[in-house]
Amino acid sequence: MQLDIASATILAAGIGAIVAGGVSAINAWFTHRSDERRQIRELAVRVGIEEWKAQIELAQKYHSKIIHPLDLYLVHAMYFVRLLGDKIKCEDQLRSHLRNSHSMTDIANQEIKNYSKKDNNHNTSQQAGGGDG
């Protein structure tokens, strides 16, 4: 069975349209997912910054000298916002997610403390030794 030129052109155009439509749909889906993730990150950053500011105000109000760095609030907010986006079906899932969130926050807090100790030791040795050179 041979196709005439007109039929072949129509068939090729149809196949091209289907392929282009499929690629376009996949691209739209990826773009949507990317925008969704970006919005979640922006929300987490805003939540973390607002919580950090609130803690600074409380520290100033009660004359506390302990203020955790912003990164700690950002890590916690990232996990918390992700938790809100997950489909939680039971109490055990919620507990597990919250434990993971607090565990990550504890890890971040410990690493920040380790870094601060290392940075303070470096600054102290520079002051005692007169710097790098």
DSSP 109: H
Q: Who wins on pLDDT, 93 or 88?
A: 93
The one-letter amino acid code at 11 reads L
- Structure confidence at residue 19 as a pLDDT band (50, 70, 90): very high
pLDDT at 133 over 50: no
How much is the average pLDDT of 16-44?
91
Number of C-beta neighbours around residue 73 at 10 A: 23
pLDDT at 56 over 70: yes
Q: Who wins on pLDDT, 25 or 118?
A: 25
To which residue do tokens 């870094």 refer?
A: 115
Tally: H helices and E strands in the chain: 3, 0
Separation CA 8–CA 54 (nearest Å)? 69
pLDDT at 76 over 80: yes
Q: Report the pLDDT value the prediction gives residue 125, as an integer from 0 to 100.
A: 53
Q: Which domain holds residue 69?
A: 5-129
Residues in the chain: 133
DSSP 131: S
pTM over 0.85: no
Separation CA 51–CA 34 (nearest Å)? 26
Give the total number of structural domains in the chain. 1
Q: Are 76 and 101 in contact (CB under 8 A)?
A: yes
How much is the average pLDDT of 102-111?
88
pLDDT at 81 over 60: yes
The one-letter amino acid code at 132 reads D
DSSP 86: S
Give the three-class secondary structure for 62: coil
